[in-house]
Amino acid sequence: MSFLSLNHIEHYYFSKQGYTKALEDISFSVPEGSFISLLGPSGCGKTTLLSIIAGILQSTRGEITLQEKPLSASKSDIGYMLQQDYLFPWKTILDNVTVGPKVQKTETRALKEKAIQMLEDIGLSKVIDSYPQSLSGGMRQRAALVRTLITDPKLLLLDEPFSALDFQTKLKLEDLVSSLLKDFNKTSVLVTHDIGEAIAMSDKIYLMKANPGKIHQVFEVPIEIRNLSPFQARKHIKYQQLFDRVWEELNALESQTAIR
Amino acid sequence: MNHKQLSDSQLFEQYKKQVTSERRNTLLWQIIIFISFFSIWEFASQFGLIDRLIFSSPSQIWTLFLEKLQDGSLWYHLRITLFETIAGFFIGTIAGIILAAILWWSDKLSKVLDPYLVVLNALPKVALGPIIIVAMGPGYFSIITMGAIISVIITTLVVYSAFNEVDVNYVKVLKSFGASKWQYFTEAIFPASLPAMISTFKVNVGLSWVGVIVGEFLVASEGLGYLIVYGFQVFDFTLVLYSLLLVAFFAAIMYQIVEKLENILIKNK
Protein backbone atom coordinates (compact mmCIF):
# COMPACT_ATOMS: atom_id res chain seq x y z
CA MET A 1 0.00 0.00 0.00
CA SER A 2 1.39 3.36 -0.88
CA PHE A 3 1.56 5.92 1.87
CA LEU A 4 2.16 9.00 -0.23
CA SER A 5 1.36 9.11 -3.89
CA LEU A 6 1.77 11.78 -6.53
CA ASN A 7 -0.32 11.59 -9.67
CA HIS A 8 0.75 13.54 -12.74
CA ILE A 9 1.90 16.65 -10.89
CA GLU A 10 2.54 19.62 -13.14
CA HIS A 11 3.43 23.13 -12.11
CA TYR A 12 3.84 26.40 -13.97
CA TYR A 13 5.29 29.69 -12.87
CA PHE A 14 3.56 32.63 -14.47
CA SER A 15 5.11 36.02 -15.04
CA LYS A 16 4.44 39.03 -17.27
CA GLN A 17 6.87 37.79 -19.89
CA GLY A 18 5.20 34.41 -20.13
CA TYR A 19 5.26 31.20 -18.20
CA THR A 20 7.75 28.49 -17.41
CA LYS A 21 7.01 24.88 -16.83
CA ALA A 22 8.66 24.04 -13.52
CA LEU A 23 7.45 20.45 -13.21
CA GLU A 24 6.18 18.03 -15.82
CA ASP A 25 4.21 14.86 -15.22
CA ILE A 26 5.66 13.74 -11.92
CA SER A 27 4.21 10.54 -10.56
CA PHE A 28 5.58 8.29 -7.88
CA SER A 29 4.52 6.67 -4.68
CA VAL A 30 6.30 6.19 -1.38
CA PRO A 31 5.61 3.19 0.86
CA GLU A 32 5.19 3.74 4.58
CA GLY A 33 8.39 3.93 6.60
CA SER A 34 10.67 4.40 3.64
CA PHE A 35 13.10 7.18 2.84
CA ILE A 36 13.36 8.60 -0.65
CA SER A 37 15.57 11.31 -2.12
CA LEU A 38 14.96 13.78 -4.89
CA LEU A 39 18.34 14.45 -6.43
CA GLY A 40 19.14 16.85 -9.20
CA PRO A 41 20.95 19.96 -10.38
CA SER A 42 19.77 23.35 -9.16
CA GLY A 43 16.75 24.62 -11.02
CA CYS A 44 15.22 21.20 -11.55
CA GLY A 45 12.22 22.01 -9.38
CA LYS A 46 13.09 19.83 -6.38
CA THR A 47 12.16 22.45 -3.84
CA THR A 48 9.02 23.37 -5.78
CA LEU A 49 7.95 19.75 -5.68
CA LEU A 50 8.61 19.55 -1.97
CA SER A 51 6.60 22.72 -1.33
CA ILE A 52 3.72 21.18 -3.26
CA ILE A 53 3.89 17.99 -1.17
CA ALA A 54 4.00 20.15 1.98
CA GLY A 55 0.84 21.93 0.87
CA ILE A 56 2.54 25.34 0.92
CA LEU A 57 2.23 25.60 -2.86
CA GLN A 58 -0.76 24.51 -4.95
CA SER A 59 0.22 22.52 -8.06
CA THR A 60 -1.22 23.67 -11.37
CA ARG A 61 -2.35 20.14 -12.28
CA GLY A 62 -2.37 16.73 -10.69
CA GLU A 63 -3.16 15.48 -7.23
CA ILE A 64 -1.41 14.15 -4.17
CA THR A 65 -2.83 11.68 -1.71
CA LEU A 66 -1.54 10.90 1.75
CA GLN A 67 -2.88 7.65 3.15
CA GLU A 68 -5.51 7.54 0.39
CA LYS A 69 -6.84 10.95 1.42
CA PRO A 70 -6.35 14.21 -0.47
CA LEU A 71 -3.49 16.28 0.87
CA SER A 72 -5.53 19.21 2.13
CA ALA A 73 -7.19 17.00 4.74
CA SER A 74 -3.96 15.98 6.41
CA LYS A 75 -1.89 19.12 6.85
CA SER A 76 -0.84 18.45 10.41
CA ASP A 77 0.61 15.07 9.43
CA ILE A 78 3.48 16.69 7.58
CA GLY A 79 6.71 18.00 9.01
CA TYR A 80 8.94 20.29 6.97
CA MET A 81 12.62 21.01 7.54
CA LEU A 82 14.27 23.83 5.63
CA GLN A 83 17.81 24.47 4.36
CA GLN A 84 18.49 26.65 7.33
CA ASP A 85 17.04 26.27 10.78
CA TYR A 86 14.92 29.45 10.73
CA LEU A 87 14.56 29.40 14.49
CA PHE A 88 12.85 32.58 15.63
CA PRO A 89 15.57 34.73 17.22
CA TRP A 90 13.14 36.29 19.72
CA LYS A 91 11.99 32.96 21.14
CA THR A 92 13.87 30.64 23.47
CA ILE A 93 14.81 27.21 22.16
CA LEU A 94 11.91 25.65 24.07
CA ASP A 95 9.43 28.18 22.67
CA ASN A 96 10.86 27.67 19.21
CA VAL A 97 10.45 23.93 19.46
CA THR A 98 6.84 24.17 20.63
CA VAL A 99 5.78 26.72 18.00
CA GLY A 100 4.06 24.01 15.93
CA PRO A 101 1.74 22.84 18.74
CA LYS A 102 1.11 26.48 19.63
CA VAL A 103 -0.06 27.22 16.10
CA GLN A 104 -2.15 24.04 16.03
CA LYS A 105 -3.55 24.88 19.47
CA THR A 106 -2.51 21.55 20.95
CA GLU A 107 0.00 23.00 23.41
CA THR A 108 -0.28 21.24 26.75
CA ARG A 109 1.87 20.74 29.80
CA ALA A 110 2.60 17.16 28.81
CA LEU A 111 3.70 18.32 25.40
CA LYS A 112 6.07 20.83 26.92
CA GLU A 113 7.61 18.05 28.96
CA LYS A 114 7.89 15.92 25.85
CA ALA A 115 9.71 18.80 24.15
CA ILE A 116 12.13 19.12 27.06
CA GLN A 117 12.68 15.37 26.99
CA MET A 118 13.39 15.39 23.25
CA LEU A 119 15.80 18.32 23.60
CA GLU A 120 17.63 16.44 26.36
CA ASP A 121 17.79 13.29 24.25
CA ILE A 122 19.31 15.17 21.37
CA GLY A 123 21.95 16.80 23.58
CA LEU A 124 20.49 20.27 23.97
CA SER A 125 19.58 20.11 27.66
CA LYS A 126 21.84 23.03 28.54
CA VAL A 127 20.34 25.47 26.05
CA ILE A 128 16.61 24.90 26.55
CA ASP A 129 16.09 28.46 27.80
CA SER A 130 18.75 30.09 25.63
CA TYR A 131 18.12 32.12 22.53
CA PRO A 132 19.10 30.72 19.11
CA GLN A 133 21.94 33.14 18.43
CA SER A 134 24.03 31.62 21.21
CA LEU A 135 23.93 28.16 19.56
CA SER A 136 26.21 26.69 16.90
CA GLY A 137 24.86 25.79 13.46
CA GLY A 138 24.65 22.09 14.28
CA MET A 139 22.83 22.71 17.55
CA ARG A 140 20.38 25.03 15.84
CA GLN A 141 19.61 22.47 13.15
CA ARG A 142 19.08 19.83 15.86
CA ALA A 143 16.63 22.16 17.60
CA ALA A 144 14.89 22.64 14.25
CA LEU A 145 14.68 18.86 13.95
CA VAL A 146 12.97 18.62 17.34
CA ARG A 147 10.59 21.38 16.26
CA THR A 148 9.69 19.32 13.18
CA LEU A 149 9.27 16.04 15.08
CA ILE A 150 7.33 17.38 18.07
CA THR A 151 4.01 17.44 16.21
CA ASP A 152 4.59 13.76 15.43
CA PRO A 153 4.27 14.09 11.65
CA LYS A 154 3.69 10.93 9.64
CA LEU A 155 5.54 12.33 6.65
CA LEU A 156 8.78 14.24 6.94
CA LEU A 157 9.99 16.58 4.21
CA LEU A 158 13.66 17.57 4.30
CA ASP A 159 14.78 20.40 2.04
CA GLU A 160 18.60 20.15 2.01
CA PRO A 161 18.62 20.42 5.78
CA PHE A 162 22.35 19.71 6.05
CA SER A 163 23.63 21.92 3.24
CA ALA A 164 24.48 24.93 5.40
CA LEU A 165 26.55 22.93 7.90
CA ASP A 166 30.24 22.09 7.95
CA PHE A 167 31.15 18.60 6.80
CA GLN A 168 31.74 17.01 10.20
CA THR A 169 28.52 18.36 11.70
CA LYS A 170 26.69 17.28 8.60
CA LEU A 171 27.86 13.66 8.92
CA LYS A 172 26.91 13.54 12.58
CA LEU A 173 23.51 15.01 11.94
CA GLU A 174 22.84 12.62 9.07
CA ASP A 175 23.41 9.71 11.42
CA LEU A 176 21.19 11.24 14.08
CA VAL A 177 18.33 12.01 11.70
CA SER A 178 18.58 8.60 10.06
CA SER A 179 18.43 6.70 13.36
CA LEU A 180 15.61 8.87 14.71
CA LEU A 181 13.52 8.35 11.60
CA LYS A 182 14.09 4.60 11.72
CA ASP A 183 13.15 4.46 15.42
CA PHE A 184 9.89 6.30 14.86
CA ASN A 185 9.22 4.56 11.52
CA LYS A 186 8.72 7.84 9.67
CA THR A 187 8.25 8.22 5.94
CA SER A 188 10.59 10.83 4.56
CA VAL A 189 11.35 12.74 1.39
CA LEU A 190 14.77 14.39 1.16
CA VAL A 191 15.68 17.02 -1.40
CA THR A 192 19.41 17.31 -2.05
CA HIS A 193 22.07 17.99 -4.66
CA ASP A 194 24.59 15.92 -2.74
CA ILE A 195 24.87 12.46 -4.33
CA GLY A 196 26.63 10.94 -1.34
CA GLU A 197 24.01 12.14 1.08
CA ALA A 198 21.21 10.77 -1.09
CA ILE A 199 22.81 7.33 -1.29
CA ALA A 200 23.81 7.17 2.36
CA MET A 201 20.39 8.10 3.68
CA SER A 202 17.71 6.79 1.35
CA ASP A 203 16.08 3.63 0.08
CA LYS A 204 15.31 5.02 -3.32
CA ILE A 205 16.67 7.95 -5.32
CA TYR A 206 14.70 9.88 -7.91
CA LEU A 207 17.09 11.68 -10.22
CA MET A 208 15.48 14.79 -11.67
CA LYS A 209 16.41 16.82 -14.73
CA ALA A 210 15.77 20.48 -15.33
CA ASN A 211 13.78 22.48 -17.91
CA PRO A 212 11.16 21.28 -17.28
CA GLY A 213 11.60 19.49 -13.97
CA LYS A 214 11.02 15.81 -14.62
CA ILE A 215 12.00 12.49 -13.14
CA HIS A 216 14.83 11.20 -15.27
CA GLN A 217 15.79 7.98 -13.60
CA VAL A 218 15.14 5.99 -10.45
CA PHE A 219 17.89 4.26 -8.47
CA GLU A 220 17.23 1.58 -5.90
CA VAL A 221 19.76 1.74 -3.09
CA PRO A 222 21.22 -1.75 -2.43
CA ILE A 223 19.79 -3.41 0.66
CA GLU A 224 23.27 -3.75 2.20
CA ILE A 225 23.66 0.00 2.39
CA ARG A 226 20.12 0.75 3.52
CA ASN A 227 20.55 -0.96 6.84
CA LEU A 228 23.78 0.84 7.68
CA SER A 229 24.00 4.23 9.29
CA PRO A 230 24.88 6.96 6.76
CA PHE A 231 28.42 7.18 8.08
CA GLN A 232 28.99 3.43 7.74
CA ALA A 233 27.21 3.37 4.40
CA ARG A 234 29.73 5.78 2.96
CA LYS A 235 32.47 3.19 3.52
CA HIS A 236 30.65 0.32 1.79
CA ILE A 237 31.91 -0.86 -1.58
CA LYS A 238 28.42 -0.73 -3.12
CA TYR A 239 28.12 2.89 -2.06
CA GLN A 240 31.02 3.78 -4.33
CA GLN A 241 29.56 1.79 -7.23
CA LEU A 242 26.20 3.51 -6.97
CA PHE A 243 27.89 6.85 -6.54
CA ASP A 244 29.73 6.39 -9.83
CA ARG A 245 26.57 5.40 -11.66
CA VAL A 246 24.64 8.41 -10.40
CA TRP A 247 27.61 10.67 -11.07
CA GLU A 248 27.83 9.56 -14.70
CA GLU A 249 24.11 9.98 -15.16
CA LEU A 250 24.21 13.51 -13.73
CA ASN A 251 27.14 14.39 -15.97
CA ALA A 252 25.33 13.05 -19.01
CA LEU A 253 22.32 15.16 -18.08
CA GLU A 254 24.44 18.27 -17.78
CA SER A 255 26.15 17.80 -21.14
CA GLN A 256 22.76 17.23 -22.74
CA THR A 257 21.40 20.50 -21.44
CA ALA A 258 24.64 22.23 -22.40
CA ILE A 259 24.23 21.15 -26.04
CA ARG A 260 20.62 22.29 -26.09
CA MET B 1 55.58 30.67 31.10
CA ASN B 2 54.81 32.62 34.21
CA HIS B 3 56.09 35.73 32.57
CA LYS B 4 53.78 35.24 29.59
CA GLN B 5 50.68 34.76 31.73
CA LEU B 6 51.49 37.90 33.62
CA SER B 7 51.84 39.85 30.43
CA ASP B 8 48.50 38.47 29.19
CA SER B 9 46.66 39.77 32.23
CA GLN B 10 48.63 42.97 32.04
CA LEU B 11 47.47 43.40 28.46
CA PHE B 12 43.91 42.91 29.61
CA GLU B 13 44.34 45.48 32.38
CA GLN B 14 45.82 47.86 29.85
CA TYR B 15 42.87 47.31 27.54
CA LYS B 16 40.37 47.95 30.32
CA LYS B 17 42.20 51.11 31.33
CA GLN B 18 42.18 52.31 27.77
CA VAL B 19 38.43 51.75 27.44
CA THR B 20 37.65 53.64 30.65
CA SER B 21 39.97 56.48 29.79
CA GLU B 22 38.40 56.81 26.35
CA ARG B 23 34.95 56.92 27.88
CA ARG B 24 36.09 59.50 30.43
CA ASN B 25 37.67 61.55 27.70
CA THR B 26 34.44 61.62 25.67
CA LEU B 27 32.45 62.66 28.71
CA LEU B 28 34.98 65.33 29.56
CA TRP B 29 34.69 66.90 26.13
CA GLN B 30 30.91 66.80 26.30
CA ILE B 31 31.04 68.68 29.60
CA ILE B 32 33.58 71.16 28.26
CA ILE B 33 31.35 71.96 25.28
CA PHE B 34 28.33 72.34 27.54
CA ILE B 35 30.05 74.66 30.00
CA SER B 36 31.86 76.73 27.41
CA PHE B 37 28.70 77.19 25.32
CA PHE B 38 26.80 78.65 28.25
CA SER B 39 29.69 80.66 29.65
CA ILE B 40 30.56 82.18 26.26
CA TRP B 41 26.89 83.02 25.81
CA GLU B 42 26.80 84.61 29.28
CA PHE B 43 29.98 86.63 28.81
CA ALA B 44 29.08 87.75 25.31
CA SER B 45 25.78 88.95 26.60
CA GLN B 46 27.28 90.66 29.68
CA PHE B 47 29.89 92.56 27.64
CA GLY B 48 27.45 93.52 24.91
CA LEU B 49 29.04 91.40 22.17
CA ILE B 50 25.61 90.10 21.28
CA ASP B 51 22.29 91.87 21.57
CA ARG B 52 20.89 91.18 25.03
CA LEU B 53 17.39 91.85 23.84
CA ILE B 54 17.46 89.12 21.23
CA PHE B 55 19.85 86.54 22.64
CA SER B 56 19.13 87.12 26.32
CA SER B 57 21.59 85.35 28.63
CA PRO B 58 21.75 82.12 30.62
CA SER B 59 21.50 83.99 33.91
CA GLN B 60 18.33 85.80 32.82
CA ILE B 61 16.82 82.51 31.64
CA TRP B 62 17.77 80.89 34.94
CA THR B 63 16.12 83.67 36.91
CA LEU B 64 13.00 83.34 34.80
CA PHE B 65 13.11 79.58 35.29
CA LEU B 66 13.20 79.94 39.10
CA GLU B 67 10.42 82.49 38.99
CA LYS B 68 8.21 80.27 36.86
CA LEU B 69 9.03 77.29 39.00
CA GLN B 70 7.84 79.12 42.11
CA ASP B 71 4.63 80.56 40.72
CA GLY B 72 3.72 77.19 39.25
CA SER B 73 3.35 78.41 35.67
CA LEU B 74 6.31 76.28 34.54
CA TRP B 75 4.57 73.09 35.45
CA TYR B 76 1.26 74.37 34.08
CA HIS B 77 2.54 75.04 30.55
CA LEU B 78 4.96 72.14 30.50
CA ARG B 79 2.26 69.69 31.57
CA ILE B 80 -0.02 70.68 28.70
CA THR B 81 2.64 70.45 26.03
CA LEU B 82 4.04 67.19 27.39
CA PHE B 83 0.60 65.63 27.48
CA GLU B 84 -0.17 66.73 23.93
CA THR B 85 3.16 65.50 22.63
CA ILE B 86 2.97 62.11 24.32
CA ALA B 87 -0.63 61.65 23.19
CA GLY B 88 0.28 62.71 19.65
CA PHE B 89 3.24 60.36 19.64
CA PHE B 90 1.23 57.35 20.78
CA ILE B 91 -1.75 57.99 18.53
CA GLY B 92 0.44 58.65 15.48
CA THR B 93 2.68 55.64 16.05
CA ILE B 94 -0.05 53.16 16.92
CA ALA B 95 -2.33 54.33 14.11
CA GLY B 96 0.63 54.03 11.72
CA ILE B 97 1.35 50.47 12.81
CA ILE B 98 -2.32 49.49 12.53
CA LEU B 99 -2.55 51.02 9.05
CA ALA B 100 0.62 49.17 8.05
CA ALA B 101 -0.90 45.91 9.29
CA ILE B 102 -4.07 46.55 7.27
CA LEU B 103 -2.02 47.25 4.14
CA TRP B 104 0.04 44.10 4.74
CA TRP B 105 -3.12 42.08 5.22
CA SER B 106 -4.69 43.17 1.96
CA ASP B 107 -2.42 43.15 -1.07
CA LYS B 108 -5.14 44.67 -3.16
CA LEU B 109 -5.73 47.57 -0.79
CA SER B 110 -2.02 48.38 -0.60
CA LYS B 111 -1.74 48.41 -4.40
CA VAL B 112 -4.77 50.68 -4.74
CA LEU B 113 -3.65 53.08 -1.99
CA ASP B 114 0.01 53.25 -3.01
CA PRO B 115 -0.08 56.55 -4.98
CA TYR B 116 -2.19 58.22 -2.29
CA LEU B 117 0.28 57.27 0.40
CA VAL B 118 3.15 58.65 -1.65
CA VAL B 119 1.35 61.97 -2.09
CA LEU B 120 0.32 62.14 1.57
CA ASN B 121 3.87 61.39 2.62
CA ALA B 122 5.31 64.16 0.44
CA LEU B 123 2.70 66.67 1.62
CA PRO B 124 3.98 68.87 4.46
CA LYS B 125 1.55 67.90 7.19
CA VAL B 126 1.85 71.15 9.12
CA ALA B 127 0.17 72.82 6.14
CA LEU B 128 -2.96 70.94 7.18
CA GLY B 129 -2.87 72.83 10.48
CA PRO B 130 -5.40 75.57 9.67
CA ILE B 131 -7.89 73.03 8.30
CA ILE B 132 -7.53 70.76 11.33
CA ILE B 133 -8.02 73.67 13.71
CA VAL B 134 -11.13 74.90 11.91
CA ALA B 135 -12.54 71.39 11.68
CA MET B 136 -11.81 70.28 15.23
CA GLY B 137 -11.93 73.58 17.06
CA PRO B 138 -9.08 75.32 18.86
CA GLY B 139 -8.09 73.11 21.75
CA TYR B 140 -6.22 70.01 22.82
CA PHE B 141 -7.85 67.84 20.19
CA SER B 142 -6.59 69.70 17.19
CA ILE B 143 -3.09 70.07 18.67
CA ILE B 144 -2.87 66.36 19.48
CA THR B 145 -4.11 65.63 15.97
CA MET B 146 -1.28 67.77 14.62
CA GLY B 147 1.21 65.85 16.73
CA ALA B 148 -0.20 62.54 15.45
CA ILE B 149 -0.81 63.33 11.80
CA ILE B 150 2.75 64.45 11.24
CA SER B 151 4.09 60.98 12.04
CA VAL B 152 1.33 58.60 11.00
CA ILE B 153 2.02 58.33 7.25
CA ILE B 154 5.77 57.90 7.53
CA THR B 155 5.24 55.28 10.25
CA THR B 156 2.80 53.43 7.99
CA LEU B 157 5.25 53.38 5.10
CA VAL B 158 8.29 52.34 7.12
CA VAL B 159 6.51 49.65 9.13
CA TYR B 160 4.70 48.32 6.05
CA SER B 161 7.97 47.86 4.20
CA ALA B 162 9.47 46.20 7.30
CA PHE B 163 6.53 43.75 7.33
CA ASN B 164 7.23 42.92 3.70
CA GLU B 165 10.93 42.40 4.22
CA VAL B 166 10.53 39.64 6.81
CA ASP B 167 12.22 36.47 5.55
CA VAL B 168 9.53 34.37 3.84
CA ASN B 169 11.04 31.22 5.30
CA TYR B 170 9.83 32.13 8.78
CA VAL B 171 6.35 32.18 7.33
CA LYS B 172 7.08 28.92 5.53
CA VAL B 173 7.96 27.24 8.84
CA LEU B 174 4.65 28.34 10.33
CA LYS B 175 2.66 27.49 7.21
CA SER B 176 4.04 23.97 7.31
CA PHE B 177 2.33 23.66 10.70
CA GLY B 178 -0.88 24.93 9.10
CA ALA B 179 -0.78 28.43 10.61
CA SER B 180 -3.47 30.94 9.67
CA LYS B 181 -2.63 34.39 8.35
CA TRP B 182 -3.33 35.98 11.72
CA GLN B 183 -1.08 33.40 13.41
CA TYR B 184 1.89 34.01 11.19
CA PHE B 185 1.38 37.73 11.56
CA THR B 186 1.56 37.55 15.35
CA GLU B 187 4.22 34.82 15.52
CA ALA B 188 6.60 35.95 12.80
CA ILE B 189 5.86 39.17 10.91
CA PHE B 190 5.17 41.43 13.88
CA PRO B 191 8.01 40.35 16.20
CA ALA B 192 10.49 40.28 13.32
CA SER B 193 9.62 43.90 12.49
CA LEU B 194 10.05 45.14 16.04
CA PRO B 195 13.48 46.74 15.46
CA ALA B 196 12.10 48.76 12.53
CA MET B 197 9.17 49.84 14.68
CA ILE B 198 11.48 51.02 17.45
CA SER B 199 13.44 53.12 15.00
CA THR B 200 10.21 54.78 13.87
CA PHE B 201 9.51 55.51 17.55
CA LYS B 202 12.76 57.45 17.68
CA VAL B 203 11.88 59.49 14.62
CA ASN B 204 8.34 60.04 15.86
CA VAL B 205 9.48 61.49 19.19
CA GLY B 206 10.99 64.38 17.27
CA LEU B 207 8.12 64.65 14.82
CA SER B 208 5.38 64.84 17.42
CA TRP B 209 7.20 67.73 19.14
CA VAL B 210 7.23 69.54 15.80
CA GLY B 211 3.52 68.89 15.28
CA VAL B 212 2.53 70.00 18.76
CA ILE B 213 4.67 73.15 18.82
CA VAL B 214 3.36 74.21 15.40
CA GLY B 215 -0.17 73.45 16.56
CA GLU B 216 0.35 75.64 19.61
CA PHE B 217 1.84 78.39 17.44
CA LEU B 218 -1.37 78.47 15.45
CA VAL B 219 -4.01 78.32 18.09
CA ALA B 220 -3.15 77.70 21.73
CA SER B 221 -3.42 79.98 24.73
CA GLU B 222 -1.25 77.72 26.87
CA GLY B 223 1.72 75.40 26.49
CA LEU B 224 5.38 75.90 25.53
CA GLY B 225 4.62 76.59 21.87
CA TYR B 226 2.25 79.32 22.98
CA LEU B 227 4.95 80.80 25.25
CA ILE B 228 7.35 80.91 22.30
CA VAL B 229 4.85 82.76 20.13
CA TYR B 230 3.82 85.03 23.00
CA GLY B 231 7.44 85.85 23.83
CA PHE B 232 8.04 86.65 20.18
CA GLN B 233 5.02 88.97 20.03
CA VAL B 234 5.97 90.94 23.17
CA PHE B 235 9.65 90.78 22.20
CA ASP B 236 10.60 88.85 25.32
CA PHE B 237 13.28 86.54 24.00
CA THR B 238 14.23 85.34 27.44
CA LEU B 239 10.83 83.67 27.51
CA VAL B 240 11.35 82.22 24.01
CA LEU B 241 14.74 80.75 24.87
CA TYR B 242 13.49 79.48 28.22
CA SER B 243 10.68 77.58 26.45
CA LEU B 244 13.07 76.33 23.80
CA LEU B 245 15.48 74.91 26.38
CA LEU B 246 12.61 73.16 28.14
CA VAL B 247 11.50 71.61 24.84
CA ALA B 248 15.04 70.47 24.11
CA PHE B 249 15.42 68.95 27.57
CA PHE B 250 12.18 66.99 27.51
CA ALA B 251 12.57 65.89 23.90
CA ALA B 252 15.95 64.44 24.92
CA ILE B 253 14.34 62.64 27.87
CA MET B 254 11.64 61.12 25.66
CA TYR B 255 14.32 59.95 23.26
CA GLN B 256 16.23 58.35 26.12
CA ILE B 257 13.09 56.50 27.23
CA VAL B 258 12.60 55.11 23.74
CA GLU B 259 16.22 53.99 23.69
CA LYS B 260 15.76 52.20 27.01
CA LEU B 261 12.65 50.56 25.59
CA GLU B 262 14.70 49.41 22.61
CA ASN B 263 17.24 47.77 24.88
CA ILE B 264 14.52 45.93 26.75
CA LEU B 265 12.54 44.81 23.71
CA ILE B 266 15.31 43.66 21.42
CA LYS B 267 17.93 42.39 23.78
CA ASN B 268 17.76 38.99 22.08
CA LYS B 269 18.70 40.20 18.65
Closest partner CB to A103 (pick from B172, B187, B192): B187
Contact by Cβ (8 Å): B154, B99: no
Contact A88 B187 (CB under 8 A): yes
Residue B179: what pLDDT? 85
d(CA B212, CA B82): 9
A18 at interface of B, judged by CB pairs closer than 8 A: no
d(CA B250, CA B169): 42
Residue B48: what pLDDT? 86
Which residues of chain B are modeled with pLDDT < 70?
A: 1-6, 267-269
Closest partner CB to A103 (pick from B167, B177, B192): B177
Tell me how many helices (H) and strands (E) chain B has: 13, 0
Residue B28: what pLDDT? 95
What residues of chain A lie within 8 A of the CB of B191, using their CB? 88, 90
d(CA B171, CA A160): 18
A204-209 and A69-70 beta bridge pairing:
unpaired
d(CA B179, CA A105): 10
Nearest residue of chain A to residue B175 (CA atoms): A56
Residue A184: what pLDDT? 82
Interface of B with A (CB under 8 A): 167, 169-170, 172-179, 183, 187-188, 191-192, 194, 266, 268-269
d(CA B21, CA A213): 64
Contact A86 B268 (CB under 8 A): no
Test the B interface: residue of A77, A85, A90, A134 with most B CBs within 10 Å: A90
B158 vs chain A: nearest CA distance in angstroms?
21
Q: How many CA atoms lie within 13 A of A220 on its CB side?
A: 3
Phi, psi of A6 (to 5 degrees): -110, 130
Test the B interface: residue of A74, A86, A97 with most B CBs within 10 Å: A86
Angle of the B224-233 helix axis to the B73-105 helix axis, nearest 10:
120
pLDDT, tens digit (0-9, with 9 covering 90-100), for A90-105: 899 999 999 888 888 8
Which residues of chain A are modeled with pLDDT < 50?
A: none
Residue A229: what pLDDT? 86
Cα separations (Å) of A77 from A5, A69, B266, B269?
15, 12, 34, 32
Closest partner CB to B174 (pick from A75, A79, A103): A103
Contact by Cβ (8 Å): A159, A50: yes
Interacting residues of A77 by C-beta distance below 8 A, sequence separation 6+: A66, A67, A153, A154, A155
Cα separations (Å) of B169 from A56, A86, A219, B172?
11, 7, 31, 5
Q: Is B208 helix (H, G, I), strand (E, B) or coil?
A: helix
d(CA A36, CA A186): 11
Rg, Å, chain B Cα set: 25
Closest partner CB to B183 (pick from A55, A103, A157): A103
Output the CA angle B3-B8-B12, nearest 5 degrees.
145
Interacting residues of B103 by C-beta distance below 8 A, sequence separation 6+: B109, B110, B113, B156, B160
Instruction: Give this prediction's pTM.
Output: 0.82
Residue A21: what pLDDT? 84
Contact A86 B194 (CB under 8 A): no
The ipTM (two decimal places) reads: 0.82
Cα separations (Å) of B137 from A100, B79, B133, B155, B219?
52, 21, 5, 26, 9
CA quadruple A24, A29, A30, A36: dihedral, nearest 10: -30
Test the A interface: residue of B169, B170, B171, B173 with most A CBs within 10 Å: B173
A72 at interface of B, judged by CB pairs closer than 8 A: no
- Which DSSP state fits B186? I
